[in-house]
């Protein structure tokens, strides 16, 4: 059977590192087994869904290199949900309820006060046809719950958490449809996974109890004749990401894909970190996506929360930037900056955008520091003895060493300061040819004159 995974975000906000990690792992699993990775936009919540977030999700996945093999939108699948709902209603697996939010909250408080789990009491199942007629006459529309089967435990082998066991009698029958006819998350998601042939569902451990409920939804749908393969997907629930100070929820805005992109984070760095965060495999600056695909294995995932550290991401990003070829960054570099300039400047960069600062050192003008009389005389000599060849820096420093006896910092630092205005920077063997003979001599003469 072809492996089919999916990423199913709701377009109610921007993708952040937690969403991205889920999408990446689903993509890696599909690619590991030569399967398909689907994007499903879960936009049944018309009030909160925004088209700009749909576009942002697509753009973020493209930036990350996680292009889906197909896309679906729940808002275009409402007829499918109606058909499945009708089958479940005919089979007696959904039922009408009328409690208000306040009434349900009161029931929960009463149960908790008695030391009992706050499970819905299934009062809706006891309503008669006369009760339903009375509510209809009053203009009160029902919401709908899925009726769990209490006869057998719910069990599955989780790809990360191992054998899972739930007593359905200890779970509330979930609300699946609101009184206005709109859908909640649980049933449409199960319907889509069944109808789209999803074989593997990867998601956070906060969905474990949802999976228990949805397994019964799958079974009920299959029994009602819905779904093609009629085979349960495999489920794997990974530990949630935490920050250095606990939950990431307060930081999600600054950890969105768009914010990270604006801060100079390369997609390869983010992918390298999130691919292995929470696993037993080392987190390394791996820019080769195929290596990450071939080493992806659910068996390496641990149960402990995975700690997301921005400092670690920045460290990986620096290392990844130093691996990037000119072709990968050419469209982001300053005008006129060629491959030789990129290779010369690259070792000094933390982000690709920093290249513009170093390119200004090449193109000038630069402001050297104020030098003492001895140093100005030394720089004047440098301007007069400078020759141009395959390695003008080596020729210049060799000539000055012979003429002055200087060596080490006394030989090199004044030249760098006069030529670049900096105390540090790219290797001068590579940088001086980029500056050019005329500009280099002009800078030395200007520094010597103290201008």
**How many Å apart are CA 378 and CA 136, to the nearest integer?**
98
Contact predicate 199/4, CB 8 Å: yes
Angle at which helices 267-276 and 310-321 cross, to 10°: 130
Number of H helices, E strands in the chain: 19, 13
Q: Is the dihedral of CA 245, 210, 198, 29 positive or negative?
A: positive
Measured between alpha carbons, how far is residue 278 from residues 16, 21, 205, 302 in Å? 17, 11, 13, 6
* Site of tokens 């006819």: 181
Residue 5 DSSP one-character state = E
The dihedrals phi and psi of 180, each to the nearest 5 degrees, come to -85, 5
What stretches of 148-229 adopt beta strand conformation (E)? Answer: 154-158, 162-166, 175-177, 200-204
Strand-pair category, 36-41 with 4-7 = parallel
Contact predicate 239/18, CB 8 Å: no
**How many Å apart are CA 217 and CA 176, to the nearest integer?**
11
The residues, any chain, with a CB within 8 Å of residue 279's CB and separated by 6 or more, are 300, 301, 302
Q: Is the dihedral of CA 119, 122, 123, 124 positive or negative?
A: positive
Residue 15 DSSP one-character state = -
**How many Å apart are CA 141 and CA 182, to the nearest integer?**
12
The residues, any chain, with a CB within 8 Å of residue 285's CB and separated by 6 or more, are 269, 272, 316, 319, 320, 323
Q: Please compute, for residue 75, the number of CA atoms within 13 A of its CA located in the half-sphere on the CB side.
A: 13
Please tell me whether 250 is known to bind a ligand.
yes
Annotated binding site: 250
Residues in binding site for ATP: 250
């Amino acid at each position: 059977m072809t492996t089919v995974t999916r990423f199913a975000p709701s377009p109610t906000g921007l993708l952040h590192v937690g969403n991205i990690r889920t999408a990446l792992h689903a993509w890696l699993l599909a690619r590991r087994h030569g399967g398909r990775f689907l994007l499903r936009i879960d936009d049944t919540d018309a009030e909160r869904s925004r088209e700009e977030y749909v576009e942002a999700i697509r753009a973020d996945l493209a930036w990350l290199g996680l292009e889906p093999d197909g896309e679906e939108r729940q808002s275009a699948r409402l007829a499918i949900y109606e058909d499945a709902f009708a089958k479940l209603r005919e089979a007696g697996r959904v039922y009408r309820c009328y409690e208000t939010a306040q009434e349900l909250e009161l029931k929960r408080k009463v149960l908790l006060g008695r030391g009992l789990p706050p499970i819905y009491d299934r009062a809706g199942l006891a309503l008669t046809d006369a009760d339903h007629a009375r509510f209809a006459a009053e203009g009160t529309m029902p919401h709908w719950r899925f009726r769990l089967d209490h006869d057998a435990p719910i069990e599955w082998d989780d790809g990360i958490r191992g054998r899972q066991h739930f007593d359905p009698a200890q779970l509330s029958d979930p609300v699946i449809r609101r009184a206005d006819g709109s859908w909640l998350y649980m049933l449409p998601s199960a319907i889509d996974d069944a109808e789209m042939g999803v074989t593997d569902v990867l998601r956070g451990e906060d969905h474990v109890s949802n999976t228990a409920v949805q397994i019964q939804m799958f079974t009920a749908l299959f029994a009602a004749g819905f779904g093609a393969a009629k085979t349960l997907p495999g489920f794997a629930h990974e530990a949630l990401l935490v920050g250095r100070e606990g939950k990431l929820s307060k930081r999600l805005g600054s950890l969105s894909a768009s914010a990270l992109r604006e801060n100079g984070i390369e997609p390869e760095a983010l992918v390298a970190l999130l691919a292995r965060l929470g696993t037993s495999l080392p987190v390394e600056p791996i820019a080769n996506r195929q290596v990450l695909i071939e080493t992806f294995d659910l068996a390496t995932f641990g149960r402990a929360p995975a700690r997301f550290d921005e400092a670690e991401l920045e460290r990986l990003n620096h290392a990844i930037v130093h691996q990037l070829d000119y072709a990968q960054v050419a469209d982001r570099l300053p005008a006129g900056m060629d491959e030789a300039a990129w290779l010369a400047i690259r070792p000094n960069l933390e982000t690709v955008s920093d290249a513009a600062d170093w390119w200004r050192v090449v193109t000038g003008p630069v402001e050297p520091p104020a030098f003492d009389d001895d140093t100005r005389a030394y720089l004047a000599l440098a301007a007069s003895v400078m020759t141009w060849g395959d390695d003008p820096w080596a020729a210049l420093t060799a000539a000055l060493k012979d003429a002055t006896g200087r060596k080490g910092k006394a030989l090199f630092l004044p030249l760098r300061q006069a030529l670049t205005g900096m105390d540090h920077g790219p290797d001068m063997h590579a940088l001086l040819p980029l500056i050019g003979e005329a500009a280099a001599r002009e800078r030395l003469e200007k520094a010597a004159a103290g201008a």
